[in-house]
Each structure stands twice: as C-alpha cells, then as structure tokens.
Amino acid sequence: MKILCIGRNYADHAKELKNDLPTEPVIFMKPKSALLLPEKPIYYPDFTKDLQFECELVVKIVKNGKFIAEKFAHKYYNSVSLGIDFTARDVQREQQKKGLPWEIAKAFDGSAATGTFVPLTELKPIMDLDFELKLNGNTVQIGHTRDMIFNIDQIIAYASRYFTFNVGDLLFTGTPAGVGPVKIDDKLEGFLEGKKVLDVDVK
Ligand code: MG
C-alpha cells in the first residue's frame, strides 16, 4: 500500500505557512513504513527539533483504479478517519530552501498516524464533515471538509492520472490552519463529528 498526501488544500493553512494557493492539487507520498497504526505512539525523531502535527481527514481506498473520472471517484472509498501528517518542519524548510525533495521531512517512519475508520454510512456527506484536534486537551485545529480547495473526488481524479490507486491505499487530504509543534509526553486526540477516532502519544 501507499499513502498519498495533499499539501496546501485549505486556504487558511497555506496562508499560515506563507504559501501561494495551488491551482492543481499538490501531491506527495509516504511509504508503508511511515504508517503509524491506531493507538501507537510516535517516537520523537532525533533528526528534528521541530516535529509538528497536521491533522487531516484520511480516506481509505477500497477499489483498484487508474484514470478515475471525478463522477465515479466516490465508488473508490467508503470510510474515513483522521490522521496526523507528522512533519519535521525545520527539515522541510531546509529542503525547500535548497529546492530538494521533502521525504526526509514528511515520509519518515511513523509520520502517517491514523485513527479508527468510520463507515461513510454513519456520517454526514463527506464534504460536510467537521473535525477537531486536541493537544493535551486543548483544541488546536478545527477543520471543515467543505473548506478544502480540491474536494475528495477531484483529488482522486487528478492523482489517478499519475498513480494507480490500489485497495488499502490511504489518502491524506490536507490540513486546516493551526499546525504546531509537539514535544515528548504530549497527547494528540482527533475528533470526527465529535467522536474520538484518533489518539497519538508522543514519546
Ligand atoms: Mg499535510
């Protein structure tokens, strides 16, 4: 399986990192080794001094496909969760400054934390979901999927021109504003439509 991630998909987050708004989805990938399963802690990596959380809606792919038309994209998923796109922000800034790839800042082991998946049949429409991230009990990010620049089906249609989707792939759909650093012993909890689906301790 692979993990496809979208960058800069919420205008308020692009603004907080002083990035321009994209005209096409910004795609990057994390390998399977980046996956942090539900309830597992992340160990603070030794190569960064600025590990940051980015809470994102995560879509699980349930059908193989290539060149997927936007109008059929909804057939390729049926559950969602929340995840953390952990980012070594200092390393990312260095890489960006040098015009080099992001992988060492965003695709390292444990950088793709995931929560429990909820069937879409139990939720409001996918583009009308609210989510929230708490850091040590305090709300730090609030997201509404309707604020995405590119919606889920547009992302799947676009990405599938380049990459075949396979059953079990995950799609991280970008983070709203409010990203920030974590430190050892911090606790992150994600709530989808008010229900806790994600729990990550930093060790
Ligand atoms: Mg992200």
166 alpha carbon – ligand 1 mean position (Å): 21
Residues with CB under 5 A from ligand 1 (ion): 54, 85, 175
125 alpha carbon – ligand 1 mean position (Å): 22
Q: What range defines the domain where residue 169 resides?
A: 3-39+50-201
Whole-structure pTM value: 0.96
159 alpha carbon – ligand 1 mean position (Å): 16
Total domain count, the chain: 1
Cβ proximity of 143 and 132 under 8 Å = yes
Read off the pLDDT of residues 46-72 as tens digits, 9 standing for 90 and up: 999 999 999 999 999 999 999 999 999
Q: For residue 45, tell me if it sits in a domain.
A: no
185 alpha carbon – ligand 1 mean position (Å): 22
What is the chain's length? 203
Better pLDDT: 101 or 14: 101
* Residue 155 confidence (pLDDT): 98
* Residue 39 confidence (pLDDT): 84
Query: Domain containing 116 — which CATH number?
Result: 3.90.850.10
Rounded Cα–Cα distance for residues 56 and 133 (Å): 9
Read off the pLDDT of residues 107-166 as tens digits, 9 standing for 90 and up: 999 999 999 999 999 999 999 999 999 999 999 999 999 999 999 999 999 999 999 999
Q: For residue 44, tell me if it sits in a domain.
A: no
Q: For residue 184, tell me if it sits in a domain.
A: yes
pLDDT band at residue 182 using 50, 70 and 90 as cut-offs? very high
114 alpha carbon – ligand 1 mean position (Å): 13
**Which strand (E) or helix (H) includes residue 134?**
strand 130-135
Better pLDDT: 143 or 21: 143
* Residue 14 confidence (pLDDT): 72
